[in-house]
Structure 1
Amino acid sequence: MYNSVPLQQHALMSQYPSYYVKPVFKKDVQEEMIKSGEAQKLAHVPTRAALNDQTSSVYHDDIINVLINYVMKDGRKVLARELVEKTLEKIKRLQLERYHKATNIEDKNKIELNPRVIVHKAILNGKPLLQLSPIKRGGVKYQVPVPITDKRSQFLSMKWIIEAGNEKDRNTRFYDQLAVELIDAFNNTGRVVKRKQELHKQCEANRAYAHYRWS
């Protein structure tokens, strides 16, 4: 007897029924839910199993995990994770070297030693606010500046950082160059920030076509 369910519906099916809720694996979110009383409501509700990259460890970082996924090629996630970990280690070494070379206490206090903070700030500094979108009007394509979503903006920032890390000499390791680019972006300098500023300048030059967004 053949299964009467179409193949397309099989592709949309999940191993969990629709009433199963997603797991809450972050400790800070769990603590907030306990304080607000929401955790008690979910005590007896069926919950889905957490994914293999979802953990309550204090070392878990969503931004770092996304960066690892963008660095990964051909499904080699172990290699991508090692490259990002070596990048964080290199950032720590470079910042410590600058810290020990600084003679003034005020200069030392200005140097950020946490590589995770540097990565977060670098990605934030590289995020564009606008992008050019081709819109056809009267048989002519115009490059129209449009606002960009936060997810797309973060993707472009990480993409530019990785591309800048790949633009290196043959004798330079990828994670060494990536660490330098992240530190430059953290200080609001470097190729990534320059690329963002160039995109904003192009959007400013094409602002006369901005009204085509709504027409």
Structure 2
Amino acid sequence: MAFTERSAAARRAILAAARDSFATTGYEQSTIRSIAAAAGVHSSMVIRYFGSKSELFVATVADEAPVPEVGDLDDFGARFARRFVEYWEGSHCTGPGALLRVAPTHPDHAAQVQAVFDRLIADPVRAALADDPDVERRVALLVATAVGFVYTRHILRLEPIASLPPAALIPALAGTLQAHLTGALDEPPGAGRDQGRGRE
């Protein structure tokens, strides 16, 4: 959808109001009507621009996407890890964090989590590795690693990961992500220490 300057401003206002509502009120209690009122627009505009509350939630998360453009594959792991860790350490993750807490027991919320991580990780990686026959396996491993990190540190708060400083997490996460993206997937554990492109 092409946006005029006026409609773009309304869309930004809706996203800002939605982000604040999801973070302070929670996903369940937030309504299209209350978000529209906070944004100063009619509720029909929220539906017009975003379709549903679920799609609006995904848009608020993707609007601050922690994933850089895939770009050069050889340093993607490091770039991804830094932005991902910094994103989840920020206070603006209250809304996504709340959704992740209830997702295991609510199938509809789990579908939203899937949509968020598809938007932030799977879609750009699929585009960058369109000719790689292992692209779906790589995407699955990247998403599993990202979700596992968030649950371990921010939801379950398992030690010692929960207490490690971000600077210690970034290089460890970077190596794992890089291996999933460019490493040889069929090597047994401990083999192929070189995490180069692995597909030459």
TM-score of the superposed pair, with normalisation by structure 1: 0.27
Greater fraction of residues in helix: 2
Where is the strand percentage greater, Structure 1 or Structure 2? Answer: 1
Q: When the two structures are superposed, what TM-score results if normalisation uses the length of structure 2?
A: 0.28
Max radius of gyration: which structure?
1
* Higher RCO, Cα 8 Å, sep 6+: 2
